[in-house]
Structure 1
């Protein structure tokens, strides 16, 4: 399924700290001993309030940042992140992992278990262990509540203001034309001053992240390998890498990370097909141009310069698709699916090919048998619903999407497809209601209320439905007031 973005506005988040950390069983547990997470910074920001603030920031990001709403990539990075979270101590809430369409190397975390990465991080990592080390570091920042603790250390007595939090601490506007995440020295310095991270906090995230990485079964050496590679790239660059600007990397810190990882030894981890497919997908769909990418993947295949052949073939198929050479994409994907008929990367791409060739029924035939055994899988469900909408099978598509939203009521892409489905059926009231919910996901409550007022005008004599809509309008107004009180 193709990516859907709300608005093309590049945003950079000055994040917690270096993403290179990883893993495993605590050797020297005393050195890793930290304050009880339920108590730390509780007088500044409670866990409940942290979740509330984090959700508000996430909604703000959906409306302003180039978040990639790509079901296949989303599932991959969420699964990867979850492998690390289950190894984390003091995880007080579910974590949400997401990707920004930005070729720079960066990662960030903020309140409530939200961890974001730039797509460039995926393409620049050489192994899944390197990518996982970034996730582990950011997860450690969240579990140790570093932002809340920094806020406490500064003894701020004024209530947290969402606008200040987003504008002054986490977000800085980037150059949308160049697509480069460049923060001015003044903004970066001010943000760094406000966050005021200490070396101890960075060391905590480094040590805990490396232990987490090892426990999750990744190679602990992925952390210093990626860390060192970034430092080398930065030395030869006239412009400092964005990741290193927001994650300072002094030489002694690199050596400390290497020493820490060495205590866990190295682990032979076979190349990950899922990682290589994700990497190929980002390159083919979000970087470069189709002709350049066709040449890139064709060269890899001709010269056997790939880690996994199937991933290079997949990248070539996606590049053909982007170049509207659908027959060539179909041929490669047919070969890949013959060997792995349930691979979500391949199924998603083949669905897109069928839809572009005006063959949505073929996509439904491909997906439905697999979906019937895995109805909770979002990649299968979203692709099937999309194909059904294109085939004007609106009723079953609506049911699939509503089932997704019962489990994940903040799933942006589901609302986008649901609006299309209701529009196709002429159900204006339901379309307005779905549109209102989507506006609420980007903190656009005034617009959401407007949509509900339109829905109210479509209710006729349905008294109960009118009451439901009025109650939802009041909920949105209450949320606006709650945010103002933060």
Structure 2
């Protein structure tokens, strides 16, 4: 699916260093409820999940998260391959991407792991990328953020509100966020630094082991660190990752020695890894003309690992420049050799819709969707094509079914709202809008939308009761956050 580009925003790497005495910052939308109770000595898993959920909802409203089903499918699959090999994984993990060209990754409460788009475009191999995923997964499974919270409390009380405020501050200005944790006496600051270094070492060791068990090349970890260290000597502004993941020489040697214990791994190159790189470059970086030249040069001079990835990037670049016939020609060739490739199917759907032929997209996707009805790429693309083809009831049913499997599928609500508006179903539109606001932690707005839905119910007593119950659930969620 073709999604609008969003402005870049700076974000922090790993969130542990932000646990100092930072002040919460105001937001003019989706304001978090005040959470003033200090963290307990032992942060329970349930509380960690609640805090992580609130933080994720806040990020949806304020960070440039890429709601791209193809990219989401790839990074979630890659992350799951690592999580299944992790010890102490106590809850499902959620992986997401921010539209930002810097090399960066971060983890926070409840198994949420975010990466910057620049991490993928700058990684040299899938094993290098997976090494960063594994490192962040290890931070979560070892509960480093909870442990750091407990350690910080021994010196000064930690409030959840100040934790979230520090995260948002670092989102807007990483240097300010990091400077904020330097406040206070030097002894306390040094204690936090030492604690973080021990966590980084632990995450390195566990991450490399996880990487090997998942079938990746453990040498990807030292290779990635070496690349960062080399680039940092040139003072590149792309190395935001190094601000809280310092790479001293001994860290490189330690990870290299640990990776060597697993022997040499000849892991084949991944086509999907190179396809997702091409997608990010063509859709979220540069401009169409520059990208046409970039991928065109790769194809002409055979400067690629996979020709398919270079051709795919060229097709997307043609699409972005509204040269739909050229994009369709390339994608037709790619699909002829790989008929079920989700990258190609997604792009061809966009081209057919742009060519005012959504019916052809529906015909192309329907057989594949029937075989895999819960696949988000197929379901979302088919629903989008059906909406454009004015096949609203079928689209609505697909989206409702998808939300039964994944109630936090943000893009599903956006498409559902479009379908309800087109069919004049105001009550359903308000209800879908309320759920979308809920995913942004904008509970007051969600309740307002439900009040509008209530006014559209007429004499349907059962529906009135359902809406009143959902309003009460949102109010209870707000109260739960306030009691944390």
TM-score, L = length of structure 2? 0.90
| 1:326-351 CA-partner distances (Å, limit 9, x unpaired) | 00000000000000000000000000
2:14 paired residue number: 15
Answering whether residue 477 of structure 2 is matched by residue 484 of structure 1, we say no
Answering whether residue 385 of structure 2 is matched by residue 387 of structure 1, we say yes
**Could you say what secondary structure the match of 1:2 adopts?**
coil
From 331, 334, 340, the counterpart of 2:338:
340
Alignment of structure 1 residues 383-462 onto 2, 5 Å: 383-462=381-460
Answering whether residue 180 of structure 2 is matched by residue 187 of structure 1, we say yes
Query: How far is the alpha carbon of 1:477 from its aligned partner?
Result: 1.0
What is the distance in 2 between the residues matched to 1:264 and 1:9?
Answer: 39
1:2 paired residue number: 2
| 1:263-299 CA-partner distances (Å, limit 9, x unpaired) | 1122101110000000000000000000000000000
**Could you say what secondary structure the match of 1:361 adopts?**
helix
What is the distance in 1 between the residues matched to 2:147 and 2:77?
Answer: 28
1:31 paired residue number: none
2:125 paired residue number: 127
What is the distance in 2 between the residues matched to 1:14 and 1:156?
Answer: 25
What is the distance in 2 between the residues matched to 1:68 and 1:195?
Answer: 32
What is the distance in 2 between the residues matched to 1:360 and 1:126?
Answer: 37
Alignment of structure 1 residues 260-271 onto 2, 5 Å: 260-271=258-269
What is the distance in 1 between the residues matched to 2:228 and 2:435?
Answer: 41
CA contact 2:13–2:241 (8 Å) conserved in 1: no
| Alignment coverage as a number of residue pairs | 458
1:292 paired residue number: 290
- Which consecutive residues of structure 1, in runs of 5 or more, have no partner in the other structure? 19-40, 176-180
What is the distance in 2 between the residues matched to 1:157 and 1:367?
Answer: 58
2:162 paired residue number: 164
- Give the root-mean-square deviation of aligned CA atoms: 2.2
What is the distance in 2 between the residues matched to 1:133 and 1:427?
Answer: 47
CA contact 2:59–2:440 (8 Å) conserved in 1: yes
What is the distance in 1 between the residues matched to 2:8 and 2:434?
Answer: 22
Quickly say closer, same or farther: Cα 1:91–1:171, change in 2 above 3 A. farther
**Could you say what secondary structure the match of 1:93 adopts?**
coil
Alignment of structure 1 residues 316-327 onto 2, 5 Å: 316-327=314-325
2:368 paired residue number: 370
2:21 paired residue number: none
From 227, 230, 244, the counterpart of 1:229:
227
CA contact 2:346–2:377 (8 Å) conserved in 1: yes
1:145 paired residue number: 143
**Could you say what secondary structure the match of 1:198 adopts?**
helix
**Could you say what secondary structure the match of 1:154 adopts?**
helix
What is the distance in 2 between the residues matched to 1:449 and 1:88?
Answer: 39
Query: How far is the alpha carbon of 1:195 from its aligned partner?
Result: 6.0
CA contact 1:182–1:242 (8 Å) conserved in 2: no
CA contact 2:7–2:99 (8 Å) conserved in 1: no
What is the distance in 2 between the residues matched to 1:97 and 1:139?
Answer: 10
What is the distance in 1 between the residues matched to 2:154 and 2:168?
Answer: 17
CA contact 1:375–1:381 (8 Å) conserved in 2: yes
The farther-off stretch of 163-172 and 328-337 is 163-172
| 1:2-31 CA-partner distances (Å, limit 9, x unpaired) | 2368x757251341589xxxxxxxxxxxxx
What is the distance in 2 between the residues matched to 1:159 and 1:432?
Answer: 42
CA contact 2:14–2:105 (8 Å) conserved in 1: yes
Query: How far is the alpha carbon of 1:217 from its aligned partner?
Result: 0.4
Quickly say closer, same or farther: Cα 1:157–1:442, change in 2 above 3 A. farther
CA contact 2:218–2:262 (8 Å) conserved in 1: yes
What is the distance in 1 between the residues matched to 2:9 and 2:310?
Answer: 29
- Which consecutive residues of structure 2, in runs of 5 or more, have no partner in the other structure? 18-38
**Could you say what secondary structure the match of 2:232 adopts?**
helix
Quickly say closer, same or farther: Cα 1:316–1:238, change in 2 above 3 A. closer
TM-score, L = length of structure 1? 0.90
What is the distance in 2 between the residues matched to 1:44 and 1:4?
Answer: 42
Quickly say closer, same or farther: Cα 1:239–1:369, change in 2 above 3 A. closer
1:29 paired residue number: none
Quickly say closer, same or farther: Cα 1:280–1:431, change in 2 above 3 A. same
What is the distance in 2 between the residues matched to 1:226 and 1:333?
Answer: 33
Query: How far is the alpha carbon of 1:260 from its aligned partner?
Result: 1.0
**Could you say what secondary structure the match of 1:83 adopts?**
helix
Quickly say closer, same or farther: Cα 1:313–1:190, change in 2 above 3 A. farther
| 1:147-173 CA-partner distances (Å, limit 9, x unpaired) | 101111223599864432222256514
Query: How far is the alpha carbon of 1:239 from its aligned partner?
Result: 4.2
Quickly say closer, same or farther: Cα 1:260–1:233, change in 2 above 3 A. same
**Could you say what secondary structure the match of 2:149 adopts?**
helix
Query: How far is the alpha carbon of 1:238 from its aligned partner?
Result: 5.6
Query: How far is the alpha carbon of 1:137 from its aligned partner?
Result: 0.2
1:37 paired residue number: none
1:215 paired residue number: 213
CA contact 2:10–2:100 (8 Å) conserved in 1: no
Query: How far is the alpha carbon of 1:96 from its aligned partner?
Result: 0.3
